[in-house]
Amino acid sequence: MPHVPTILVFDSGLGGLTVFREIVKARPDAIYTYVADDAFFPYGHHTEGEIIARVVPLIGDLIAQHAPDLVVIACNTASTLVMEHLRAAYTVPFVGTVPAIKPACAISKTKRVSVLGTKGTVKREYTKTLIRDFAQGCDVTLVGAENLASLAEAALRGQSVSDASIAAEIAPCFLDGAAPTDTVVLACTHYPLLMEQLTRLAPWPVDWIDPAPAIARRVTALLGPAIDAPAPPPARIAFTSGRQPGPVLARGLEPFFGSTLPAA
């Protein structure tokens, strides 16, 4: 009997759902637990030391609790820091989420690319190394958004988020002149939650690079393709704050989990 894998998807909040939905498409047969570390959100406002000290033991606890076959860290702010610590501490395979600089630079025609991430992600040595290794002659601008992850989270929680606040966060991505920016890397998993607003509010059309499909491909490369198995139990979601989603958030989560929302 082929094994049905259990996959744990982790983020600081609800942004990792943009990765989760792609993984579910690739492995609809798997058993899923999604964990949002909302008690420590937003990671972008914490120091590197604080994030390592928070995430490494927390993932250890989650592995002990859920016994996953694979863990996806669906957060750039964490993955650009903790992957080697996690792999050193635990034997379960990990897939991280890091800025998609290589594919973005490969498709840019104007050779001007922006990387839109949290303040933490754009400061990381890891991100700077990706640019050194994979810019392929592109001029890469790092843009650290102060509040965009929180705005995405608020929108999903049914709060009103003004176009002006989103436009202000993305404005520094758009450099014009002889070679205007034509490609923007979504280097925070929260941002694809705002895709409609991003495309509508962009000063001109660009390619927005979402790494989620590539992460799903990495998951199937490690676990293999979907197998013919009975339908799995519904995916579960847990919040480290212990909070249960109210009716408005439950509606926001419906596209990801369906109408029943079992807690993990």
**What's the burial of 256, exposed, middle or buried (CB within 10 Å: 0-12/13-18/19+)?**
middle
Looking at the DSSP assignment, which residues form a beta bridge with residue 72? 9, 95
Give the nearest distance from C-beta 52 to ligand DGL in angstroms.
Answer: 14
Distance CA 30, CA 27 (A): 6
Which of residues 136 and 165 has its CB atom nearest to ligand DGL in the complex? Answer: 165
**Closer to ligand DGL at the Cβ: 31 or 149?**
149
CA-CA distance, 100 to 118, in Å (whole number)? Answer: 14
Among 76, 141, 197, 240, binds ligand DGL (CB under 6 A): 76
User: Is 121 a binder of ligand DGL (CB under 6 A)?
Assistant: yes
**Which 190-209 positions form the footprint of ligand DGL (CB under 6 A)?**
190
Which residues, in sequence order, are bridge partners of residue 117?
144
Distance CA 17, CA 8 (A): 12
Nearer to ligand DGL, 24 or 73 (CB): 73
What is the identity of the amino acid at 135? A
Which of these ranges, 12-20, 58-66, 123-131, 195-203, lies near ligand DGL under the rule CB under 6 A?
12-20
Between residues 12 and 240, which has the closer beta carbon with respect to ligand DGL? 12
- Minimal CA–CA distance to 212: which of 181, 235, 190? 190
Distances (CA, A) of 220 to 211, 213, 226, 229, 232: 15, 11, 8, 16, 17
**18 sits near ligand DGL (criterion: CB under 6 A):** no
Binding-site residue total for ligand DGL (CB under 6 A)? 17
Q: Does 99 bind ligand DGL (CB under 6 A)?
A: no
**Active site residues per annotation:** 75, 188
> Rounded distance, CA 168 to CA 119, Å?
15
Segment interacting with ligand DGL, rule: CB under 6 A, options 50-58, 70-78, 124-132, 252-260: 70-78
**Residue 82 beta carbon to ligand DGL: minimum distance, rounded to whole angstroms:** 12
> Which pair of tokens denotes residue 221?
């490369």
Considering only 33, 77, 114, 127, the residue that binds ligand DGL (CB under 6 A) is 77
d(CA 190, CA 12): 10
Is position 12 an interface residue for ligand DGL (rule: CB under 6 A)?
Answer: yes
Of the CA atoms within 13 Å of residue 192, those in its CB half-sphere come to 23
Q: Which is nearer to ligand DGL, 32 or 41 (CB)?
A: 41
Task: Confirm or reject binding of residue 75 to ligand DGL (CB under 6 A).
Answer: yes
Q: What is the bridge-based pairing of β-strands 183-186 and 207-209?
A: parallel
Among the residue ranges 2-10, 71-79, 135-143, 202-210, the one whose residues contact ligand DGL (CB under 6 A): 71-79
- Kindly list the residues in this chain that would bind ligand DGL in the complex (CB under 6 A): 11-13, 15, 41-44, 75-77, 118, 121, 149, 188-190
